[in-house]
Structure 1
């Protein structure tokens, strides 16, 4: 069973014991692209990079310490949060507590290392810009929002990444990296008492303070349908992106309906991606969207969706699109089509199968708990919402998708 407690300094501690010899230790910070402002767009990701550099008080680098005992480490930045993780043999689990407690307060932000990480982040930005899909989704985000923090995506702005100073991002780190703005999740071969004991040992002496990254959910822009055409670079495959705004996790009922709609439209989706990055998903042959390929409207179809706190885009990309006007119309027809009882039943089965898959390891389960706590204030609520998605009926689906179709973006790239 999952348990939740809080230290006196505000740190939330979530523990789930499993009879295995591995422990996954996650620390979620409620800070991401949503907390950025002009001048530091993309800064949350750069801060994450800096927290794998020199940390005062650690007896070695993070990679040396973790890999030295046969463990795995990672970190990733999202619109809504930044996460750090160690997956360790249970006998070395204490190392994860030590690393994360020092990461919370003792990152050095050495100026020379800062400039090196700036270059690395800018090179990642360049790699993204060389990906046509990234450029299309990025352009869709610019259309979807006017001033909303999701507008520039996690990658941020090149101009800000070029100019932001070490001192500005160090202040940003100090502002948001504090116990009251963090969730420690421990899943695996540590008992609850031992995990809480280690949490107190390593985090309990950290003084409360700093700021919360919690913001009130809001939205702007995209009140109708927008269509844009872009010229593809020489040698690039023509493609069509169609995106719809869907509810974020702040709207629990909307999220429940989004999950069912996703499994009817795209046919499948992992709820967590373990230790890998999120990528667009090739839709299975059993999905509605695959009919576009069967009908000769494109060579392949991908869809992209992830749970975010505020409303976000649900994106469909058709490669080598043959007739863009017909493809757009056909996508809307497929989405609006009333599901049969067999189709609903299959979607419900896939949801539950994917839920099992997404909670079958300590790392993936820790991710579910951390997201659920940040978004809903309850580590088990996200699992309940996913289960409840199987209870939606045909009428709910039709009403939901008809509203989606009224706010859409189509970008033809050829």
Structure 2
């Protein structure tokens, strides 16, 4: 049973007991790249880094405290949110509440630590720039949107990362890190009653000031088909990127259809990626896209998709493409093809299997609850959407993908 309640200061708390001896504690904040502005592009991610540095009132560093009791911790920043998690033995669950309550208001932002984290984030930026897949997907996002906040990568812009001041980002932190802009999720061996007690103990006295990071969903840019050809560096493998503008979670019916399409076209995908960032997925041999390899049109096929609040890009990357225009046409044919009864049955079974796997894990289920609450105001809605994706028929599939194919970007890199 999922318990949902709200503290007087606006903090939403979601608690779900599972008969296991570990507990996952998440703090989700409704702030990410969508909230950034000129001068602080990449700031949400840099703030996340700073919140693993000195936090006033803690008796040690986050890593020392968590690892000292055999736990695991992480944080991740997205277009729409920033999240922090501790997975702890149940008897040490209170430590997670203490860390997250102090992280919400007591991050020190020491100047020396800030400059060190700036260098670390800039090194991540360099790593991304050295990855041709990242560069191509970034180019696609610049084509897909004119002014939309998804236009830039979550890592941000180099100039902004170089110039943003400690004080500017500290103000950004104070603006969005507050109870009313947060969701606390507790899943695992802790009872709902104990989770309620600890949430009140550690968060109940935090003031309700600050702003909401919520935005109204909107879109701009890409309305047709775009084809771009770029020169590959001499030591890089030629490749083809094909992307389609797809519905975000604000469009519940569109997301339901997209989930089925993904499992038909790409064959399989985890709904949440545990505690790590999403990466392009090598499609399995059972997928439609693998026919590109079987037909000798490319050496390998990867796809990339994640649930975002607003419309985003569904990306397919094919390596060592022999005839780019032929492959573009073939990919569109594969997506548009009406699925057989057996194909639909296999895709729906994979959806059910993936969902069952996610719901058996406190860390994965906690992530689903948090995203669902942030995106749709109900921690159970995302599970419901995934379940309803298995009720779609072949005609609804075809009608959905026909609309997607009209907004696409193809980037040939050779």
TM-score by length of structure 2 reads: 0.99
Q: Quote how far apart the aligned CAs of 1:276 are.
A: 2.2
In the alignment, what sits opposite 1:164?
164
Give per-residue Cα distances to partners, 1:315-372, cap 9 Å, x unaligned.
0000011110100000011011111111111111111011111222110010000000
Give per-residue Cα distances to partners, 1:49-99, cap 9 Å, x unaligned.
000001000000000000000000000000000000000000000000000
C-alpha separation between the residues in 1 aligned to 2:155 and 2:407?
24
Map 1:176-255 onto structure 2 (within 5 A): 176-255=176-255
C-alpha separation between the residues in 1 aligned to 2:243 and 2:194?
46
Aligned residues of 2:271 and 2:358 also touching (Cα < 8 A): yes
Matched residue SS, 1:351: helix
In the alignment, what sits opposite 1:366?
366
Q: Quote how far apart the aligned CAs of 1:230 are.
A: 1.0
Structure 2 gap segments, 5+ residues each = none
Give per-residue Cα distances to partners, 1:371-405, cap 9 Å, x unaligned.
00000100010000000001111111111111100
C-alpha separation between the residues in 2 aligned to 1:234 and 1:39?
34
C-alpha separation between the residues in 2 aligned to 1:332 and 1:111?
51
Map 1:14-93 onto structure 2 (within 5 A): 14-93=14-93
Matched residue SS, 1:358: helix
Aligned residues of 2:264 and 2:347 also touching (Cα < 8 A): yes
C-alpha separation between the residues in 2 aligned to 1:151 and 1:230?
19
Q: Quote how far apart the aligned CAs of 1:43 are.
A: 0.4
C-alpha separation between the residues in 2 aligned to 1:355 and 1:284?
18
Aligned residues: 414
Aligned residues of 1:146 and 1:220 also touching (Cα < 8 A): yes
In the alignment, what sits opposite 1:131?
131
Give per-residue Cα distances to partners, 1:257-310, cap 9 Å, x unaligned.
000110111111100111222111110101100000000000000000000000
Aligned residues of 2:76 and 2:276 also touching (Cα < 8 A): no
Q: Quote how far apart the aligned CAs of 1:234 are.
A: 1.5
- The answer as to 2:407 corresponding to 1:407 is yes
C-alpha separation between the residues in 2 aligned to 1:408 and 1:355?
29
Map 1:109-120 onto structure 2 (within 5 A): 109-120=109-120
Aligned residues of 1:57 and 1:102 also touching (Cα < 8 A): yes
Aligned residues of 1:263 and 1:351 also touching (Cα < 8 A): yes
C-alpha separation between the residues in 1 aligned to 2:318 and 2:117?
35
C-alpha separation between the residues in 1 aligned to 2:161 and 2:393?
46
C-alpha separation between the residues in 2 aligned to 1:279 and 1:345?
27
In the alignment, what sits opposite 1:265?
265
Aligned residues of 1:273 and 1:358 also touching (Cα < 8 A): no
Structure 1 gap segments, 5+ residues each = none
C-alpha separation between the residues in 1 aligned to 2:378 and 2:261?
24
C-alpha separation between the residues in 1 aligned to 2:277 and 2:409?
25
C-alpha separation between the residues in 2 aligned to 1:60 and 1:409?
49
Matched residue SS, 1:86: strand
In the alignment, what sits opposite 2:310?
310
TM-score by length of structure 1 reads: 0.99
Q: Quote how far apart the aligned CAs of 1:225 are.
A: 0.5
Q: CA RMSD in A?
A: 0.6
C-alpha separation between the residues in 2 aligned to 1:11 and 1:76?
20
In the alignment, what sits opposite 1:122?
122
C-alpha separation between the residues in 1 aligned to 2:358 and 2:401?
26
